[in-house]
C-alpha cells in the first residue's frame, strides 16, 4: 500500500478541504435559488403589482422555467465539461448564475421574470453537474459518499437559508431583495474559487496531459491513481475491484462524454440512474415550490407555512449526511432505495390529521427522502462512471432529472388550480417516491473481472481488462 509522506498528506487534506468548501458554497446558492421562489410565490399570487396577475398554474410554470434552464445547463456541462475542465466550468457558472439572480431581481413582468429564471437556471445546472465530478476526483477513497453528501448538502442548506431569510427579513425587504442576495457569490465566492480551486489532476491525465497532471498532482497532493483502485490492488483478492471500468473503442482509445454513457457497458444503468434522479428532483422541486402554499390552505399562517419549508430542508441536510455514512459502508443503492421509501411513508402521514409537531417531523423525513435522497443519487452517479465519462454521467442525471424538477411544480400548480383536495398532492408525490425506490433496486452491481493491464485511456491499469469492457460485461455500482 502506498503511504504518502506527511507533508504530501497534509497538502492533499488542505486541497480537499478547499475544493469541498468551494463546491459546497456554490451549491448553497443553488439551493437558495431553488427555494427562494417557493418562499415568495404566495406573495406574487396575491399581489399583481409585482409582476402582473398570476394564477396557480402560471406560478407553477414560472417555477419550472428555472428548472428548464437547469436541465439545459446540466446537459451542456456534460457535453463540454469533460473537454473544458472542472475548474473553468465552475468559475464560469458561478459568475453566470450570480448575474442571473441580480437581473431577475429587477424583473417587472411575468415574461421577463420567466426568461431570466430560465437563463439563471443554465448556470445552476452546470454547477450541479460539475460538482459531482469534482467530488469524485478529489475526495479520498472510502469516503466519497460522505464528501459528496457534504457538498450536495449545500443545496438543502441553501434552502434553509432562503427559508430563514424569508422569515427574518419578511418585514424588511420584498422578494426583490431576497433574489438580490442570490447574487452574492459574484463578489464573495468567485474570487475565492479563482484563487483556491485547482484543476483536477485526474482530468488532465484523462485528457492526455500527463506532465501537467504530474506537476499538479505534486502541487495539490492529489494522487493520479484512483484511491479505490489502490485499495483494490492491496486487497487479498486481486479480482475485487471497485474502480468503474472504462468504456473503450476497439483500438483501445477511451470513449468519453455521452458516447461512453450510450455504450453497452453503461446504457441500461444510465437510463435507470436518470429515472432515479427524475423522481428525486420531482419530489424536491414539487415540495419546495408548493409546500408553503399547501400548508397555508390547511389553515397555517405564513410563518408556520415557511416553517414547514424549514423542516423539509433541515431534514434533507441532516438525513443526507447521516445516510451518506451508511452509503459508504453498505453501498449507495440500498440506502437510496430506503430513503425513497421513507419519503413515501412520510408523505402519506402528511395526509392525516396529526398535531403540528408530528407534521413537522413527517415533513423533515420527507426532506430526507426527497432532497436528501437526491444528494445520495449524485454521489451514486459520480462514482459510477470512469473519469473520461464522469462529468457526462453526472450531467445526464442532473439534466434528465430536471425533467422531474420541471414536472414537480407543474403537478402542484395543476392540482391547486383544479381545486383538488390538498392531500391528493401528497399521495401523488408518495407514489413517485415509491417508483424511485423500485427503479433503484434494478441498478446493476459491479461484478469485477481481472485487473487490466495498462492500455490507452487506462494508463494506470484500472478496472477491467480491455477485452472485458469491449464485450460490455463490466458492471459498476453497489
Place of cell 465552475: 90
C-alpha cell at 333: 443503492
Cα separation, 334 vs 346, whole angstroms: 19
Q: Are 471 and 263 in contact (CB under 8 A)?
A: no
Q: Which element (helix H / strand E) includes 113?
A: helix 110-138
* pLDDT value at residue 246: 54
Tens-place pLDDT, residues 133-151: 787 778 776 677 778 778 8
Residue at grid coordinates 493491464: 453
Torsion, Cα 234 240 243 246, to 10 degrees, reads 120
Surface-to-core class of residue 326, CB atoms within 10 Å of its CB (0-12 exposed, 13-18 middle, 19+ buried): middle
Distance from C-alpha of 153 to C-alpha of 324, rounded to nearest angstrom: 11
Residue recorded with cell 473481472: 449
- CA–CA distances in Å: residue 220 to residues 10, 16, 38, 271, 458: 10, 9, 40, 35, 22
The pLDDT of residue 94 is: 92
Under the banding of pLDDT at 50, 70 and 90, the label for residue 452 is: very low
pLDDT (tens digit per residue) in 279-332: 988 988 888 777 877 777 766 666 666 788 788 888 888 887 788 778 777 778
User: Residue 419: what pLDDT?
Assistant: 77
pLDDT digits (tens, 9 = 90+) for 326-375: 877 777 888 889 999 999 999 888 888 788 888 889 888 988 888 788 87
3-state secondary structure at position 248 = strand
Whether the Cβ atoms of residue 449 and residue 473 lie closer than 8 Å to each other? yes
Judge whether residue 444 has pLDDT over 60. Answer: yes
pLDDT over 60 at 443, yes or no: yes
Q: What is the pLDDT of residue 10?
A: 81
Inter-residue contact 302 to 339 (CB < 8 Å): no
The reported pLDDT for the residue numbered 302 is: 62
Kindly give the residue spans of alpha helices, DSSP state H, lying in 47-85. 48-51, 56-84
Residue in the block written with cell 389553515: 299
Q: Which residues of 81-90 are buried (b: 16+ CB within 10 A; e: fewer)?
A: bbeebbbebb
Range in 73-82, 171-180, 183-192, 208-217 the model is least confident about:
73-82
Q: Provide Rg for the chain, Cα atoms.
A: 22
- For 47, what's the count of Cα atoms within 13 Å in the CB-facing half-sphere? 10
| Residues 66, 118 contacting (CB under 8 angstroms) | yes
pLDDT of residue 464: 34
Q: How many CB atoms lie within 10 A of CB 218?
A: 13
Q: What's the pLDDT score for residue 445?
A: 64
6-201+263-441, CATH topology level? Growth Hormone; Chain: A; (1.20.1250)
Q: Give residue-wise pLDDT tens across range 92-128.
A: 999 998 999 999 999 888 889 989 999 998 988 888 7
SS3 260: helix
All cell numbers assigned to 369: 427522502
- Cα atoms in the Cβ-side hemisphere of radius 13 Å centred on 41: 34
Q: Which pLDDT belongs to residue 248?
A: 53
Q: How far apart are CA 425 and CA 423, in angstroms?
A: 5
Q: Is the dihedral of CA 144, 147, 151, 154 positive or negative?
A: positive
What per-residue confidence (pLDDT) applies to 256? 63
Share of the chain above pLDDT 90, in %: 12
pLDDT at 6: 55
- Round to whole Å and give the CA distance between 310 and 367: 10
Q: What is the mean pLDDT of residues 233-242?
A: 37
Q: Supply 311's cell numbers.
A: 423542516
At residue 471, φ and ψ (nearest 5 deg) are -80, -10
3-state SS, residue 214 = helix
CA 224 to chain centre: 25
With beta carbons less than 8 A apart as the criterion, state whether 245 and 235 touch: no
Domain map of the chain by residue range? 6-201+263-441
Task: Indicate the pLDDT class of residue 226, thresholds 50, 70 and 90.
Answer: low
Helix (H, G, I), strand (E, B) or coil at 209: coil
Average of per-residue pLDDT values in the chain: 77
Q: Is residue 61 predicted with pLDDT exceeding 60? A: yes
Amino acid at each position: 500500500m502506498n503511504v504518502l509522506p506527511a507533508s504530501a498528506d497534509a497538502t492533499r487534506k488542505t486541497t480537499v478541504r478547499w475544493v469541498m468548501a468551494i463546491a459546497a458554497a456554490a451549491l448553497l446558492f443553488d439551493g437558495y435559488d431553488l427555494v427562494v421562489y417557493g418562499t415568495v410565490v404566495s406573495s406574487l399570487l396575491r399581489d399583481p403589482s409585482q409582476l402582473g396577475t398570476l394564477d396557480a398554474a402560471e406560478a407553477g410554470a414560472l417555477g419550472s422555467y428555472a428548472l428548464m434552464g437547469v436541465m439545459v445547463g446540466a446537459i451542456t456541462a456534460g457535453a463540454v465539461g469533460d473537454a473544458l475542465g472542472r475548474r473553468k466550468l465552475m468559475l464560469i457558472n458561478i459568475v453566470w448564475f450570480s448575474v442571473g439572480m441580480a437581473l431577475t431581481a429587477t424583473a417587472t413582468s411575468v415574461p421577463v421574470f420567466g426568461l431570466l429564471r430560465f437563463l439563471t437556471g443554465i448556470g445552476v445546472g452546470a454547477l450541479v453537474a460539475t460538482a459531482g465530478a469534482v467530488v469524485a476526483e478529489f475526495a479520498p477513497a472510502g469516503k466519497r459518499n460522505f464528501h459528496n453528501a457534504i457538498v450536495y448538502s449545500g443545496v438543502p442548506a441553501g434552502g434553509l437559508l432562503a427559508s430563514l431569510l424569508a422569515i427574518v427579513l419578511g418585514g424588511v425587504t420584498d422578494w426583490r431583495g431576497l433574489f438580490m442576495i442570490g447574487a452574492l457569490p459574484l463578489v464573495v465566492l468567485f474570487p475565492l474559487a479563482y484563487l483556491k480551486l485547482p484543476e483536477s489532476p485526474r482530468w488532465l491525465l484523462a485528457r492526455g496531459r500527463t506532465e501537467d497532471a504530474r506537476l499538479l498532482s505534486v502541487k495539490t497532493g492529489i494522487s493520479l491513481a484512483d484511491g479505490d483502485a489502490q485499495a483494490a490492488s492491496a486487497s487479498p483478492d486481486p479480482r475485487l475491484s471497485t474502480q468503474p471500468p472504462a468504456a473503450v473503442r476497439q483500438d483501445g482509445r477511451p470513449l468519453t462524454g455521452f458516447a461512453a454513457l450510450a455504450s453497452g457497458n453503461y446504457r441500461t444503468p444510465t437510463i435507470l440512474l436518470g429515472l432515479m434522479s427524475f423522481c428525486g428532483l420531482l419530489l424536491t422541486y414539487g415540495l419546495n415550490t408548493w409546500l408553503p402554499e399547501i400548508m397555508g390552505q390547511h389553515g397555517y399562517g405564513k410563518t408556520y407555512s415557511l416553517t414547514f419549508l424549514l423542516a423539509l430542508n433541515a431534514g434533507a441536510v441532516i438525513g443526507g449526511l447521516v445516510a451518506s455514512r451508511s452509503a459508504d459502508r453498505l453501498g449507495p443503492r440500498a440506502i437510496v432505495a430506503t430513503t425513497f421509501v421513507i419519503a413515501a411513508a412520510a408523505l402519506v402521514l402528511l395526509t392525516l390529521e396529526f398535531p403540528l409537531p408530528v407534521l413537522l417531523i413527517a415533513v423533515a423525513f420527507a426532506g430526507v427522502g426527497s432532497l436528501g435522497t437526491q444528494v445520495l443519487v449524485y454521489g451514486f452517479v459520480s462514482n459510477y462512471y470512469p473519469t473520461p465519462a464522469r462529468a457526462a454521467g453526472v450531467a445526464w442525471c442532473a439534466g434528465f432529472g430536471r425533467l422531474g424538477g420541471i414536472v414537480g411544480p407543474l403537478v402542484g400548480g395543476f392540482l391547486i388550480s383544479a381545486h383538488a383536495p390538498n392531500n391528493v398532492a401528497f399521495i401523488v408525490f408518495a407514489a413517485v417516491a415509491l417508483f424511485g425506490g423500485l427503479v433503484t433496486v434494478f441498478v446493476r452491481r459491479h461484478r469485477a473481472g481481472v485487473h487490466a493491464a495498462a492500455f490507452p485511456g487506462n494508463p494506470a491499469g484500472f478496472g477491467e481488462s480491455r477485452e472485458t469492457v469491449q464485450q460490455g460485461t463490466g458492471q459498476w455500482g453497489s
